């Protein structure tokens, strides 16, 4: 049986998968969905290779990885936020100039009405049957963008506070202070 990698004819997609697999560990349906969402966002928002993107991912499982390894959006550079709502959805926007308080973004979802045309993908997505990734990935590859719905959204850009180092008045440890906090995050919980 031909593997999913052998079925891919697009050299760019193949290159992306070859970079993603060592980072994620293996090619999962969720990681491939994230890759397809990344490619949709790049196309719809006209993101160039050197442009920075910001991503809010609505699941922590698999989908965020392509945005990290291929999109350069990580939690460490504040480009990736995980809002774990258990949804196969992401919101992506490009960087905006300082002082701009909103950005045009795109919210992309894996649409269950559209996955119906791909029985194995649909069963996997709705968790009605346990299917290995090797059976779901061909449906994802065949479907391409057809199983996603996306809409433009306005993304609020947070005002970046001035970073200062402060000694916590409770525990005495140093922490990054952005506003007028006197206690570190641990001591305010």
Question: pTM of the full predicted structure?
Answer: 0.87
Q: What is the DSSP string of the chain?
A: ---HHHH---HHHHHHHHHHHHHHSS--HHHHHHHHHHHHHHHHHT--TT--EEEEES-SSSTHHHHHHTT---TTTT-EEE---S-SEEEEEE---TT--EEEEEEEEE-HHHHTTSHHHHHHHTTSS---HHHHHHHHHHHGGGGEEEEEEEEEPPPPPPPEEEE-TTT--EEEESSS--S-HHHH-
C-alpha radius of gyration, the chain, whole number? 19
Comparison of pLDDT for 24 and 57, the residue scoring more: 57
- Predicted confidence (pLDDT) at residue 1 exceeds the cutoff of 50: no
- Predicted confidence (pLDDT) at residue 6 exceeds the cutoff of 80: no
Each as own residue / partner, the long-range contacts of residues 15-23 (CB below 8 Å, 24 or more positions apart, any chain) are 16/66, 16/70, 19/69, 19/70, 20/65, 20/66, 20/69, 20/70, 23/65, 23/68, 23/69
- Predicted confidence (pLDDT) at residue 2 exceeds the cutoff of 80: no
Domain with CATH 3.30.1330.130 in the chain: 4-158
Res. 81 pLDDT band, cuts 50 70 90: very high
Give residue-wise pLDDT tens across range 85-113. 999 999 999 988 888 889 999 999 999 99
Give residue-wise pLDDT tens across range 167-188. 999 999 999 887 778 889 899 8
Give residue-wise pLDDT tens across range 7-53. 788 889 999 999 999 998 989 999 999 999 999 999 999 999 889 99
Q: What pLDDT does 128 receive? A: 95
Give residue-wise pLDDT tens across range 113-162. 999 999 999 999 999 999 999 999 999 999 999 999 999 999 998 776 67
Give the number of other Cβ atoms within 10 Å of residue 160's Cβ: 9
| Class of domain 4-158 (CATH, top level) | alpha beta
Q: What pLDDT does 19 receive? A: 94
- Predicted confidence (pLDDT) at residue 83 exceeds the cutoff of 90: yes
Structure tokens at 95: 């960087």
């Amino acid at each position: 049986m031909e593997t999913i990698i052998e079925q891919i004819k697009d050299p760019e997609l193949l290159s992306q998968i070859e970079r993603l697999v060592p980072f994620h560990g293996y090619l999962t349906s969720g990681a491939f969905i994230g890759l397809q969402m990344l490619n949709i966002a790049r196309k719809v928002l006209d993101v160039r290779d050197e442009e920075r993107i910001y991503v809010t991912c609505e699941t922590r499982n698999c989908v965020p990885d392509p945005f990290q390894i291929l999109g350069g959006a990580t939690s460490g550079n504040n480009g990736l936020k995980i809002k774990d709502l258990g949804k196969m959805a992401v919101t992506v926007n490009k960087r905006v100039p300082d002082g701009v308080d909103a950005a045009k973004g795109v919210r992309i979802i894996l649409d269950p009405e559209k996955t119906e045309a791909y029985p194995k993908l649909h069963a996997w997505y709705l968790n009605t049957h346990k299917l290995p990734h090797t059976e779901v990935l061909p449906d994802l590859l065949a479907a391409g963008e057809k199983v996603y719905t996306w809409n433009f959204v306005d993304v609020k850009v947070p005002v970046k506070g001035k970073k200062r180092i402060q000694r916590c008045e409770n525990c005495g440890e140093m922490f990054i202070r952005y506003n007028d906090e006197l206690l570190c995050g641990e001591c305010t919980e």
